[in-house]
Amino acid sequence: MDSSGMLLALLFVGLLSVLCDGQASQEVSSEDFAVEKPEPAADRDMVEALEALLGQMHNRISSTEKRASIPMCGMGDRCAMKFGPRIGKLCDCSRGAYCNSYLLKCI
């Protein structure tokens, strides 16, 4: 077989594969779309449990936000105060800076 015959056969096979690609069965049964609906009482119990959990999480998050309200300092500002052997924070250094524990300033 020469190269033109082989080329023609390859084109024919390619054309058949393209045409037959979408020929799958289109029959759809009701089992494919069957969705089991849970009981309404179970839904209510689940919603109540989720609301209680979200309420507890909201209380926990809001209490940590109150504690973490440290103002931001600029570069070169004092960011810490030395209380004897301890160091307490006055403010938090801005992005890209850190509080130097020796100078007690944002660097």
Neighbour-count burial of 28, counting CB atoms closer than 10 A to its CB (0-12 exposed, 13-18 middle, 19+ buried)? exposed
pLDDT tens per residue, range 21-40: 655 556 666 666 666 665 67
Which residues are 53's β-sheet partners? Answer: none
Residue 59 to residues 23, 53, 55, 66: CA-CA distances in angstroms?
A: 58, 10, 6, 11
Q: How many CB atoms lie within 10 A of CB 78?
A: 13
Cβ neighbours of residue 101 under 8 Å, at least 6 residues apart?
80, 87
Domain boundaries, the chain: 40-69, 70-107
Structurally, at CATH architecture level, domain 70-107 sits in Irregular (4.10)
pLDDT tens per residue, range 34-85: 666 656 777 888 888 888 888 887 766 655 455 557 788 888 888 887 777 8
More confident residue, 49 or 5: 49
| Displacement of CA 100 from its chain's centroid (Å) | 34
> Coil, strand, or helix at residue 33?
coil
